[in-house]
Amino acid sequence: MALQLAVCVSGGGSNLQSLIDAVEDGRLDADIRLVFSNRPGAGGLDRAKRHGIPSLALSHKEFSRQAFDRAMADAIAEAGADTVALAGFMRLLTPAFLKRFPDRVVNIHPALLPAFPGADGQGDAAAYGVTLAGCTVHFVDEKVDHGPIIIQAAVPAYPGEGRDALQPRILELEHRVFPQALQWLSQGRLELRGRHVALRGAGTRPTLDAQGGFMVHPPLEPGF
């Protein structure tokens, strides 16, 4: 059954765009019921409008943390969504919010968790001098960038490279793995077993691309 999805953004929304594109070209079986932002000027809101998707911005500065999460959860539920995709949403959610959508909140993070959680995964990885960087899609729990991992993709990082060089290489893969992870959720193929996420019917070999220099596991399916 199609996911009834709310996508939450704080910034430009390129990940939101990758979800919209995947829905529009039939790779992702989802109905985006709402694009929500905590920043009234977020570029993601314009993307929603361009695609005729309902959108709502509430500034978190005008609420207590609990009241903000309550208003956000109410708006998502009223829009008819039961699944929440955090696509560059720069806020930690309260336990009360997560209880409203149990095991239905998914985040994309631009680092290979558990390394480099927090607001600047790419910058922290570049500064640390890693030789492999990447991104992670995971279920959200009460801790920052911590919940069970659905998929990860790794890209090379080169000596002397700063955040700005690394970020686009990671982002390109974010745009592939996030729609893929949500499509698996839509297909009911993700099974939570404690910290582990089992993917039913998964291929056995990671997607490797020597040319573009990346590795993804579980493997991407055709179209992603």
- Looking at beta carbons only, is 13 or 179 nearer to ligand GRF? 13
- Tally of residues, the chain: 224
Look up residue 91 and give its DSSP letter. Answer: S
CA atoms within 13 A on the CB side of 175: 15
DSSP type of residue 24: H
Burial of 87 (0-12, 13-18, 19+ CB in 10 A): buried
Q: Which of 27, 39, 109, 169 binds ligand GRF (CB under 6 A)?
A: 109
Q: What's the Cα-to-Cα distance from 31 to each of 19, 24, 28, 79, 171, rounded to whole Å?
A: 10, 10, 9, 11, 23
Q: Among residues 33 and 169, whose Cβ is nearest to ligand GRF?
A: 169
Smallest distance from the beta carbon of 215 to ligand GRF, in angstroms? 18
Tokens of 82: 């039961």
Residues in contact with ligand GRF, shown as a per-residue x/- string from 49 to 88 under the rule CB under 6 A:
--------------------------------------xx
Could you tell me the smallest distance in angstroms from the CB atom of residue 101 to ligand GRF? 19
Catalytic residue chosen out of the listed positions 60, 109, 175, 217: 109
Per CB under 6 A, does 12 bind ligand GRF? yes
Name the residue nearer to ligand GRF (CB basis): 85 or 220: 85
Residue in the block written with tokens 């729609």: 179
Residues 156-195 interacting with ligand GRF (rule: CB under 6 A): 171, 174
- The residues binding ligand GRF (CB under 6 A) are 9, 11-15, 87-88, 108-110, 171, 174
